[in-house]
Amino acid sequence: MARSATTTATASETRNGGLVIAFLRRYSVWLIFVAVAIVLPWILPGGAARTVMSQIGVAIIFALAYNMLLGQGGMLSFGHAIYFGLAGFCIVHLIQAVQDDELIAIPIWIMPLIGGLVGLFFGCLVGYVSTRRAGTIFAMISLGFGEMVSAMVLVVVSFFGGEEGIQTDRAYGTDLFGLIDWTKDIHVYYLITIWAFVAVAAMYAITKTPLGRISNAARDNPERVAFVGYNTQRVRWAVFTLSGFFAGVAGALHSISFEQAGFEMVNVERSGAVLFMAYIGGVGLFAGPVIGAVLITALEKLITDVSHAWPLYLGLFFMVVVMFSPGGIAGVLGLHERIWKVDWRILGRLTKPYLRAAGATLFAAIGAVCVVELTHTLTNEEVRTTEMKLFWMATDAASVWAWLAALAILGGGIWLCRLTYPGARESYDNAIKTATDRALGK
């Protein structure tokens, strides 16, 4: 960005102008997100959209909290939902207590902090026991705790509400001189957004602290970390506890948003969902889980509207990522970092081969969706008819033609993939080589 060379400008003016520009550059990504988050409800109006956006906000916090464990700490947990859920339950009870005048009126916007403390408490407790082991056993232990809490939630009905869960009403009066009205979804959305930014900024800052750095080191080489003076178990325990805090924040926001808490907030499905978001988004980059949270939450909403097979699609998507792109979406983007750091224009050469490969993938995906949907209609015991709508076309799932078409699209898509992927791969390799050569000054 060119600085205006005004000779009449005073020294302090140009210095301040320079500071502002530097600030904008450094935090540009954050500022863009702030802008988008603020403006979004006006671009996509409507209650349903707002609910999804609130869910996305919560998911972002939860997925990033989870990644403190997985991506940064190297700990795979199958039971992280318990901090999310327990915080949610506590918050619902708190809100209800305020409603029943049993408690002083704690403002709603402090509730997520309290939720975080609940998560911190349980994270500390469970973490102390779990972090004694690492790797696969740690994962199994986390699953065990997850199941235990899930089972207890159904037993202690008075606190957890059994299978129905517990409900409350978050609207007690107005806050901040009558400006905030918690009956309005839009206000809750902004509450979530603000908390999301605070949480994300905090988690990002933690990665740059001594604990964050040592946690990364322990992920890659736990033995070495011990030999430079750190008790690796303590490191993992500390990270686990902090991760529980942020999961609790997310859980509290979730409960505030939906005004309820139920056993589905602590169960293995919820733990699996956040695992999927973090992994598909990419555990290696800080922003990866954010990508995953946004994508999966949005997709879930879109797909469950038109199909019953969302869990199957999610499972398939996850398997594809595990097998072919373990770095997730962020990982794929990260592979190109070396290129654009040298000269972003080299990326231009990748457009055509990538577009071709993407088109082939899309084709194959459509074919797969057709097959899945047809199968689903045929095997669905609840629905009598075999008629269905596939991509806005009325089809009969029992007809041979529909099946032939679906299989042909799928087969053709796979064939096209095999055709186009080598080309994309080659152009990537060339781009890397060009970038490396240029960096070395050839």
Question: Does 304 participate in binding another protein (rule CB under 8 A)?
Answer: no
Regarding 216 and contact with another protein (CB under 8 A), the answer is: yes
- C-beta pairs of 23-32 under 8 Å, 24+ apart in sequence: 25/1, 30/201
C-alpha 60/C-alpha 279 separation (Å) is 13
* Rounded least distance, CB 227 to another protein, Å: 5
334/350 Cα distance (integer angstroms):
15
Are the C-beta atoms of 61 and 196 separated by less than 8 Å? Answer: yes
The answer to whether residue 106 forms part of the interface with another protein (CB under 8 A) is no
Q: Does 156 bind another protein (CB under 8 A)?
A: yes
**Distance from C-alpha of 20 to C-alpha of 18, rounded to nearest angstrom:** 5
Considering beta carbons, is residue 189 or 276 the nearer one to another protein? 276
Pick 14 or 233: Cβ nearer another protein: 233
Looking at beta carbons only, is 188 or 390 nearer to another protein?
390
C-alpha 82/C-alpha 61 separation (Å) is: 15
Q: How far is the CB of 74 from another protein (least distance, A)?
A: 8
Which residue stretch of 33-41, 104-112, 224-232, 329-337 sits at the interface with another protein (rule: CB under 8 A)? 224-232
Residue 76 binds another protein (CB under 8 A): yes
Q: Does 130 bind another protein (CB under 8 A)?
A: yes
- The C-alpha atoms of residue 118 and residue 91 are separated, in whole angstroms, by 9
Query: Contacts with another protein in 321-380 (CB under 8 A)?
Result: 322-323, 326, 375-376, 379
Between 10 and 136, name the residue whose CB sits nearer to another protein: 136
For residue 441, state whether it binds another protein (rule: CB under 8 A): no
Candidate residues 78, 83, 89, 258; the one interacting with another protein per rule CB under 8 A: 78
Cβ neighbors of 439 (< 8 A, separation 6 or more) are: 342
* Interaction between residue 147 and another protein (CB under 8 A): yes
∠ Cα 359 364 370 (to 5°): 125
Does position 299 interact with another protein (CB under 8 A)? The reply is no
Written as one string, the DSSP assignment of 101-164 is TSS----GGGHHHHHHHHHHHHHHHHHHHHTTS-HHHHHHHHHHHHHHHHHHHHH-HHHH-TTT
Chain position carrying tokens 């080659």: 426
Task: Look at residues 173, 157, 175 and name the one whose alpha carbon lies nearest to residue 165.
Answer: 157
How many residues of this chain bind another protein (CB under 8 A)?
Answer: 71
Closest distance of CB 149 from another protein, Å: 9
Rule CB under 8 A: say whether 232 interacts with another protein: yes
Give the interface segment with another protein, choosing from 47-55, 97-105, 317-325, 399-407 (CB under 8 A): 317-325
